[in-house]
Amino acid sequence: MALSNSEIADLFDQLAELLDIEGENPFRVRAYHNAARTIRSYPKSLAEMVAADEDLTELPGIGEAIAKKIETIVRTGRLPQLEQVLKRTPKSLLELLRIEGLGPKRVKTLFYLLKIKTLEDLERAARSGRIRELPGFGPKTEELILNHLQKHALQEKRFLRFEAESVAEAILAHLKGCPGLDRIEVAGSFRRWKETVGDLDILATVRDGGEVMARFLAYEGVEEVLSHGPTRSSVRLKNGLQVDLRVVPTESFGAALQYFTGSKAHNIALRTLAVKQGLKINEYGVFRAGERLAGATEEEVYASLGLPWIAPELREGRGEIEAALENRLPKLIELADLRGDLHCHTDATDGQDALEAMAEAAKALGYEYLAITDHSKRLTVARGLDEQRLRRQMEQIDALNEKLQGIRLLKAIEVDILEDGSLDLPERVLKDLDLTVCSVHYQFHLSAKKQTERILRAMDNPYFNILAHPTGRLINQRQAYEIDLERIMQGARERGCILEINAQPERLDLNGEHCLMAREIGVKLAISTDAHSALGLNLMRYGVAQARRGWLSKDQIVNTRPLRELLRLLKRA
DNA sequence: GCCGTTTTCGGCCCGACTGTTTTCAGTCG
């Protein structure tokens, strides 16, 4: 199996971090990190690009030297420069960098002066009081290190954005109504709709000082205050989530919101553009020779650089600034574009609510249609439907459609893809449905080749419409199964099949990176909630966000189409 | 090591907070 982009990127990140510890030119170090970031988020397989002899220097941040290194990695699986560095500087130093408060300079000091190579070495030295004697260190740093070593063992995890959402709401509710508070907004990766967040960045503007900062530090969920100043404080909550609050003057709100929304890569690209235009951007505004040009709104910050406003979901440093300069930013899909949901469950299998309740909830969301996709018989734990029970549900749906006003239920099924690539129900019943959603629910461990062929074979069935949660991953719980997604997308496009963007917050499958790939390949997609209750239909926004992160507009998403057009699309052959 | 409206050399984002310092380096986001 060829190396994945993310494995290649890891090698460059390792090389960069080790060279940083060695004191290498920081710009060279940054170049490797930049390349790693480009590689990790690139929608096409670099291994395949090398095999096809494509020019890698076309990629941003990849020049002659790094392109050559990538070729070597792809052909040999090794990066000789990294192996050279590892002879001098042990790989275990990278663990030390993960400790908060330890960066390359301090790790270098620890290694050269105390021969500290591992976390165990570090702990021993800290306990015996040798750290505080080092130049640039002191008793406080030593204590900090011991504290962080303990927490490090607990393993820091990233929170689902969905989990962080309720935390953010609670904190905002706590701060709202505070004297002097003007505006307040969550920025950071939360605002960019990343699937997980490492912390929450909250931004506030205040009139005449205000008491917001004090009120924030007094929030009942705070476990520990990590740092505090007049404009910026950090706390760790009892649930482990870190929250930062920044306070800026009202006239700087836009500049600060832009700045604290990031991403880091986006901001670097934006500031580089500003420097070229003789401007300086910071969180207080855009300046030319000390004169303030913009800052109150994000729109004017971008406009002062000759750019249209860029949606937060696009701000990942994937060429969005170049696209904005050339006026070719996509018109992103919006929640309101969706006319229906194509994946949900009822109490016939493992859902909580009855058909009618699901229909009413969909209608309340303004949908035109809702596909009922209960499980098929192989999924016995969910009491999956056999042909007879499915036929009965189809009759119920027909009867309900007679009665319902303003919403049409579609007869459908979430049918299991069996190990040999056949579907769990016979064609004679599938053909009577409006659509099928097809899923892999077992045999996750097959080789990439076998898993890919299993799915492609399933797509050969003329009644295969939508591939549900295509990679099977569960965030923080289960890895994606091995699969050649590029081949699957191409196969789906050729056969007129559709891939799902599953909006369940712990799935988000496809995710933003996959959506970029889908955009490039041109395969049709559906955004579906996979709701197991009427309330669950509300999670559509999470799927839409991933589509937006993948630069998608509504024309590639089938459930933005009116019913008649959708049904036509679903008829294959 | 990358890159080019400063174009093949000489730049490379910018500020807050902390701790160790007496004016600043390191880290972080």
Q: Give the pLDDT confidence score for residue A154 in this predicted structure.
A: 53
- State the Rg of chain A over Cα: 26
Is the minimum distance from the CB of A254 to strand B below 7 Å? no
Please state, in angstroms and rounded to a whole number, the distance separating the CA atoms of residues A106 and A114: 11
3-state secondary structure of A183: strand
Q: Give the pLDDT confidence score for residue A209 in this predicted structure.
A: 58
How is residue A303 written in tokens? 């406009």
Confidence of residue A556 (pLDDT cuts 50, 70, 90): very high
Confidence of residue A1 (pLDDT cuts 50, 70, 90): low
| Mean pLDDT over the full length of chain A | 91
How is residue A349 written in tokens? 């299998």
User: DSSP E strands: which ranges in A134-180?
Assistant: 159-160
pLDDT tens string A301-321: 999 999 999 999 999 888 899
Q: Give the pLDDT confidence score for residue A393 in this predicted structure.
A: 96
A143: the nucleotide nearest its CA (via C1') is B19
Rounded to whole angstroms, the distance from the CA of residue A317 to the C1' of nucleotide B9 is 26
Whose CA is nearest the C1' atom of nucleotide B4? Answer: A276
Cβ–Cβ under 8 Å, residues A517 and A487:
no
Rounded to whole angstroms, the distance from the CA of residue A265 to the C1' of nucleotide B14 is 13
Is the minimum distance from the CB of A95 to strand B below 7 Å? no
The whole-model pTM stands at 0.84
Q: Give the pLDDT confidence score for residue A309 in this predicted structure.
A: 94
pLDDT tens string A185-212: 999 999 999 999 989 999 999 876 568 8
Rounded to whole angstroms, the distance from the CA of residue A248 to the C1' of nucleotide B18 is 21
Is the minimum distance from the CB of A449 to strand B below 7 Å? no
Rounded to whole angstroms, the distance from the CA of residue A128 to the C1' of nucleotide B9 is 50
pLDDT tens string A235-260: 989 888 999 999 998 999 999 999 99
Angstrom CA distances, A70 to A27, A34, A39, A75, A517, stand at 19, 14, 10, 9, 20
The answer to whether residue A367 scores a pLDDT higher than 90 is: yes
Average pLDDT over residues A494-504: 97
Protein chain A, residues 150-209, with a C-beta closer than 7 Å to any atom of nucleic acid strand B:
188, 199, 201
Protein chain A, residues 48-87, with a C-beta closer than 7 Å to any atom of nucleic acid strand B:
57, 60-67, 81
pLDDT tens string A155-171: 566 899 999 999 999 99
pLDDT tens string A526-536: 999 999 999 99
Please state, in angstroms and rounded to a whole number, the distance separating the CA atoms of residues A219 and A172: 10
A262: the nucleotide nearest its CA (via C1') is B29
Is the minimum distance from the CB of A268 to strand B below 7 Å? yes
Please state, in angstroms and rounded to a whole number, the distance separating the CA atoms of residues A190 and A211: 25
Cβ–Cβ under 8 Å, residues A287 and A277:
no
Whose CA is nearest the C1' atom of nucleotide B1? Answer: A28
Rounded to whole angstroms, the distance from the CA of residue A88 to the C1' of nucleotide B25 is 25
Q: What is the DSSP letter of A550?
A: T
Rounded to whole angstroms, the distance from the CA of residue A32 to the C1' of nucleotide B19 is 30
Q: Nearest CA to A175 among A222, A134, A140, A225?
A: A222
Q: Give the pLDDT confidence score for residue A465 in this predicted structure.
A: 97
Nucleotides of B under 7 A from a protein CB: 1-3, 5-6, 11-21, 25-29
Is the minimum distance from the CB of A17 to strand B below 7 Å? no
| Higher pLDDT among residues A170 and A1, named by residue | A170
A552-555: long-range pairs with CB below 8 Å, 24+: A552/A330, A552/A332, A552/A333, A552/A515, A552/A518, A552/A519, A552/A525, A553/A330, A553/A331, A553/A332, A553/A333, A554/A331, A554/A333, A554/A334, A554/A337
Q: Nearest CA to A405 among A356, A371, A341, A346?
A: A356
Rounded to whole angstroms, the distance from the CA of residue A276 to the C1' of nucleotide B5 is 8
To 10 degrees, what angle do helices A64-76 and A5-22 make? 120
Q: Give the pLDDT confidence score for residue A224 in this predicted structure.
A: 87
Is the minimum distance from the CB of A290 to strand B below 7 Å? no
Is the minimum distance from the CB of A227 to strand B below 7 Å? yes
Q: Nearest CA to A349 among A403, A410, A412, A426?
A: A412
Please state, in angstroms and rounded to a whole number, the distance separating the CA atoms of residues A79 and A70: 8
Q: Looking at A232-279, list the stretches that DSSP marks H as alpha helix, in order from N- to C-terminal side.
A: 253-261, 264-276
The answer to whether residue A20 scores a pLDDT higher than 80 is: yes
Rounded to whole angstroms, the distance from the CA of residue A526 to the C1' of nucleotide B28 is 39
A32: the nucleotide nearest its CA (via C1') is B1
Q: Nearest CA to A355 among A363, A378, A432, A504?
A: A363
How is residue A538 written in tokens? 């509300």
The answer to whether residue A573 scores a pLDDT higher than 70 is: no
